C-alpha cells in the first residue's frame, strides 16, 4: 500500500541522507520525495511517498521518528489529507492547429501554457496525481520532449471546526 509521510526535520547537511538511508537499508523504495524549508528556515518539511504493508511502514515511521534531528513524522495516509503533484512538460506543437489543440487540452486540465517556442510549448500542471497522469497521457500523442515532475506534496486537512471557521472568515472578508 502507498503511504505518504510528512516529516519535519532540522535543516542541516546529512539529515536527508540519514532518513533516506533508513528506507534503502530495508529495501524500501522511495517513490517520491520533496523537501523544502518551512517558515522557520532551520526546519525543513519533507513529503515522502513509499509503499509497503502497514506494519513495515509503521516500523519505518518509528525509525524516522527516532532520528535525533527529526522533530515529527506523520503518516498522512489514513488521515484526511490533500495531495498534489506538479509537472512541467515540453510538448511538441507546431504553430497552428496542433498548438491550439495542446492549449485546449491544457485548459481542460486546468493546466497553464507558460512558455512557447517555435515548435513547442511548455505546460505547467498542478493537481491530484491521477489528473496529472491523465494530462500526460493526452499530451503524449503530440510528443513529449522533456518532463520534470515534482513528487507528491501533502498536507493534512484542517479539522472540521477550524475549516468551517476559515470558510466563515473568507466569506466575511469576501
Partner 1 sequence: MVATLTEQLKAPDMRSDEAVHSSSCEFSGARILIEASLREGVDTIFGYPGGAVLHIYDELTKNQHRLRHILARHEQGAVHMAEGYAKATGRVGVALVTSGPGATNAITGIANAFMDSTPLVVITGQVPRKMIGSDAFQEVDTVGITRPCTKYNYLVREASEMAEVVREAFHLAGTGRPGPVVIDIPKDVTAEQAVFVYPEKVDLPGYCPNKRVEYEQVEQALEKIERAKRPILYVGGGVIHANGSAELLRLAEKLCLPVTPTLMGLGCFPSGHPLYLGMLGMHGTYWANMAISESDLIVAIGVRFDDRVTGALEKFAPQAQIIHVDVDPSSVSKNVRAHVPLVGDAKSVMQQMLDCHDAETEARPLGTAAMAHTKALADGRATPPEERLAAWWRQIEEWKQFAPLTYENSDEVIKPQFLCEELYRLTGGDAIIATDVGQHQMWLAQYYGFNGPRQSITSGGLGAMGFGFPAAVGAQLAFPDRQVIAFVGDGGFQMTAQELATAVQYKTNTKIIVMNNNYLGMVRQWQELFYDGTYSAVGMDGSPDFVKLAEAYGAVGLRASKPSELSAVLERGLSMPGVVVMDIVVTAEENVYPMIPPGAGLKEMVLG
Cα 114 to Cα 94, 125, 142: the distances in Å are 16, 10, 17
Out of 66, 78, 157, 168, the only residue in the binding site for partner 1 (CB under 8 A) is: 66
Size of the site for partner 1 (CB under 8 A): 18
37 part of the interface to partner 1, by CB under 8 A: no
- Answer yes or no whether residue 6 interacts with partner 1 by CB under 8 A: no
| Cβ atoms within 10 Å, residue 111 | 22
- 7 in Cβ contact with 72 (< 8 Å): yes
Closest to partner 1 by CB, 22 vs 86, is: 22
Q: How far apart are CA 48 and CA 35, in angstroms?
A: 9
**Taking CB under 8 A as the rule, does residue 63 contact partner 1?**
yes
SS (H, E, C) 59-96: HHHHHHHHCCCEEEEEECCCCCEEEEEEEEEEEECCCC
38 binds partner 1 (CB under 8 A): no
- With respect to partner 1, which residue has the nearer C-beta, 65 or 128? 65
Cell of 7: 516529516
- 71 is a site residue for partner 1 (CB under 8 A): yes
57 binds partner 1 (CB under 8 A): no
Q: How far is the CB of 43 from partner 1 (least distance, A)?
A: 9
- Positions 117 through 136 that interact with partner 1 (CB under 8 A): none
Q: Is 67 in the site for partner 1 (CB under 8 A)?
A: yes
Per CB under 8 A, does 18 bind partner 1?
A: yes
Paired residues of 30 in beta bridges: 50
Contact by Cβ (8 Å): 130, 138: no
Binding site for partner 1 (CB under 8 A): 9-10, 13-14, 17-18, 21, 25, 59, 62-63, 65-71
Amino acid at each position: 500500500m502507498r503511504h505518504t509521510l510528512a516529516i519535519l526535520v532540522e535543516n542541516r547537511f546529512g539529515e536527508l541522507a540519514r532518513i533516506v538511508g533508513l528506507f534503502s537499508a530495508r529495501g524500501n523504495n522511495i517513490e517520491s520525495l520533496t523537501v523544502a524549508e518551512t517558515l522557520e528556515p532551520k526546519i525543513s518539511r519533507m513529503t515522502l511517498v513509499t509503499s509497503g504493508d502497514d506494519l513495515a511502514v509503521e516500523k519505518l515511521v518509528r525509525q524516522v521518528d527516532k532520528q535525533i534531528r527529526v522533530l515529527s513524522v506523520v503518516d498522512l495516509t489514513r488521515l484526511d489529507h490533500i495531495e498534489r503533484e506538479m509537472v512541467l512538460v515540453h510538448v511538441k506543437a507546431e504553430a497552428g492547429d496542433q498548438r491550439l489543440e495542446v492549449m485546449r487540452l491544457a485548459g481542460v486540465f486546468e493546466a497553464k501554457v507558460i512558455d512557447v517556442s517555435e515548435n513547442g510549448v511548455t505546460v505547467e500542471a498542478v493537481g491530484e496525481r491521477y489528473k496529472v497522469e491523465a494530462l500526460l497521457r493526452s499530451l503524449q500523442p503530440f510528443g513529449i520532449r522533456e518532463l520534470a515532475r515534482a513528487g507528491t506534496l501533502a498536507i493534512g486537512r484542517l479539522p472540521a471546526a477550524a475549516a468551517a471557521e476559515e470558510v466563515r472568515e473568507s466569506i466575511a472578508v469576501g
